Structure 1
Amino acid sequence: MKLLRTAALTTAALGLTLTSMSWATAAPVPKFLAAAEMPAALTPWTAGPATSGLPADFCTGTTAPQGSSKHRLYATELDTNGRQTITVAASEAKAKVLVTRLRAAIESCFDRMKQENPNVDGEALYYGELPVEGGAHVYGIDSFDPVGGSNDVALYSVGRDGRTVTVVAWGQLGDLDDASLNGFQQATRTAVTKLY
């Protein structure tokens, strides 16, 4: 487990652009996690439909291209939520660039939170890489706002199989000690394996 260092990568610095690609040209079509494949929770998970475009997410924002992405939202009855985004890039090389950009966005997320609200306290951690398909990287963000009284924890992973990239996000009230890291790592392995 390592503390994150801010990574300032931009599209210009990478010198590459991500060309949008329709899911219709991706064969076979990537598959999303089922609700039951999310980390264990106190109440059952429900899953929404796969929806075109990107979910609202402060950390990843619009890093991935809207036109070649789909997402699915997950929720429980007790303030635990999740998201999975799948993006089909035009090539494996462009998928690798997207992984780099998404990792940089997540690695800098806590610093951006503090810029928006200097009262926020907490930490961001990198849990390492999982050996699945093209690899998957796992992160944790623990944030506490003493003014608003909110204490939130989030886990993120970025994984790739060929030219397809997935981001899995999980969040709830509490801190990193309350997070099901093992369950999230297993959900990440499943998500990347299920892409194809």
Structure 2
Amino acid sequence: MKTLRSAAVTTAAVGLTFTSLSWASAAPGPAFLAASQLPPSLTAWAAGPVTAGLPDDFCTGNTAPKAASKYRLFHTELDTNARQTITVAASEAKAKQLVTNLRNRIETCFDRLRAENPNLDGEAFYWGALPVEEGAHVYSIDTFDPVGGANDVSLYSVGRDGRTVTVVAWGQLGDASDAAVKAFQKTTTTAVNKLY
């Protein structure tokens, strides 16, 4: 496990309570995760519809091309939720660059969050690469609000199969010890394998 950095972050920004080739021309299309393939939770996961565009996410922002992307939101009855974004790039070279750009956005998220609110504490980790298709990378962001006393933890992964890139994000109230990293790594592997 490699520490990225410790810094002040905003809980709301990293919490998950949070052109290229067109999608239609990619055949067969990539498949999204099912609710049952997310890390176990105390209550059942529910999956929303697949939606065109990009979800609202401070860390990844509009890094991926909106016209070539779709996403799906997931939630439980408790304070746990997740989302998956899939982007079909115009070429494998552009997909590789997109992975680099997304990883950079996640790795530098603390710097941008710290600039917004220097009073909150946080810690981020890079959990390493997963050997699936062209690879996937897993990160965690743990935040603590010393004023409100709230803890939030988020997990992110970026993976690629050919010219298709996916980002999976998971978050809940709690600290890093509550993060289901191993289960999330399994979810990420499944997500990348389902791209084609």
Per the TM alignment, residue 5 of structure 1 is displaced from its structure 2 partner at its CA by 5.8
Structure 2 equivalent of residue 62 of structure 1 = 62
- 1:96 aligns to what SS in structure 2? helix
Per the TM alignment, residue 120 of structure 1 is displaced from its structure 2 partner at its CA by 1.3
Q: Would you say the 8 A contact 1:5–1:108 is kept in 2? A: no
TM-score between both structures, scaled by the size of structure 2:
0.92
- 2:27 aligns to what SS in structure 1? coil
Letter in 2 for 1:188: T
Structure 1 equivalent of residue 4 of structure 2 = 4
Q: Would you say the 8 A contact 2:159–2:166 is kept in 1? A: yes
Q: Unaligned regions of 5+ residues in structure 1, if any? A: 7-18
Structure 2 equivalent of residue 104 of structure 1 = 104
Q: Unaligned regions of 5+ residues in structure 2, if any? A: 7-18
The two structures, once aligned, show a CA RMSD in angstroms of 1.1
Report Cα offsets for 1:118-159 as digits up to 9, x if no partner. 011020000000000010000000011112322110000000
Identity, in percent, stands at 72
Letter in 1 for 2:60: T
Distance 1:135 1:81 in 2: 24
Structure 2 equivalent of residue 187 of structure 1 = 187
Q: Would you say the 8 A contact 2:84–2:169 is kept in 1? A: yes
Structure 2 equivalent of residue 150 of structure 1 = 150
Distance 1:45 1:178 in 2: 17
- 2:124 aligns to what SS in structure 1? strand
Structure 1 equivalent of residue 28 of structure 2 = 28
Alignment of 1:39-118 (within 5 A): 39-118=39-118
Report Cα offsets for 1:22-63 as digits up to 9, x if no partner. 111101100000000000000000000000000011110111
Are the structure 2 counterparts of residues 107 and 91 from structure 1 closer, same or farther at C-alpha, using a change threshold of 3 Å? same
Q: What number of residue pairs does the alignment pair up?
A: 184
